[in-house]
Structure 1
Amino acid sequence: MSVRIKHITVGDGAPLVLIAGPCVVESREMVFTTAETVHKAAEKRRMPVVFKASYKKANRTSSGSFTGIGMDEALAMLADVRKQFGMPVLTDIHLPDEASITAGVVDVLQIPAFLCRQTELLIA
């Protein structure tokens, strides 16, 4: 079985794909510095690459931990990374309502492991 992400094929004997990026979008500078580093590393190794960053980390163990800068601001940055570097972008979603919003911005929606049995989220 294989999956296409824009111009990249994943699986079925296709070349290894680098999926990399920060855990969560914290600032524009951090996201673009990381995107540039990931892009250059993949280019140097002639590897296909997908940039991954969460706009929100909903699985923190402390309610006081940083979870993100806000969905709209983070998704705008991910859209800019996609445009500037030409890399497909992946992010995770946590609620069914987020599926249609994020699908218009990124190339891959990921369901976090701790939510993979939430039927409504999977259907969205």
Structure 2
Amino acid sequence: MTEQDQELEAQRKRAEEARTELGETMGELAARADVKHRAQEKAHEKAEEIKEKAGELKEKAGELKGRAVEVTPDPALKAAEQVRKRPGPVAGGAAALAAAILVGRQVLRRRRAAKAPKGVGRLFRKR
């Protein structure tokens, strides 16, 4: 081979290396430019992380529930079961308590308004 042939062969090798490197660079740039695909991958990764965390939390909740049942006194468990069976009386009691609180507030407001000096009663009333 002559010197020219050797130089030509070296240039061809350099050109081939440059093409290969350019192809790799273009592939990397294309991957970076594909924002939609990258966002989907990131969303998929986050979804997997959330699923794992949810599984861990479910396990922990089960453990805590078991411990809570163990330490809860028997009468409290029986009362909770009765409430689940017949929620009506408990709801009625809660409604009666709420009504008593509202009536009590109205009575207190009227008493305060009656004690206020004449002419300024409106200033001391709460609305």
Which protein shows a greater Rg?
2
TM (normalized to structure 2)?
0.17
Higher helix share: 2
TM-score, scaled relative to structure 1: 0.17
Highest RCO, 1 vs 2 (Cα 8 Å, sep ≥ 6): 1
Structure 1 or 2: larger strand share?
1
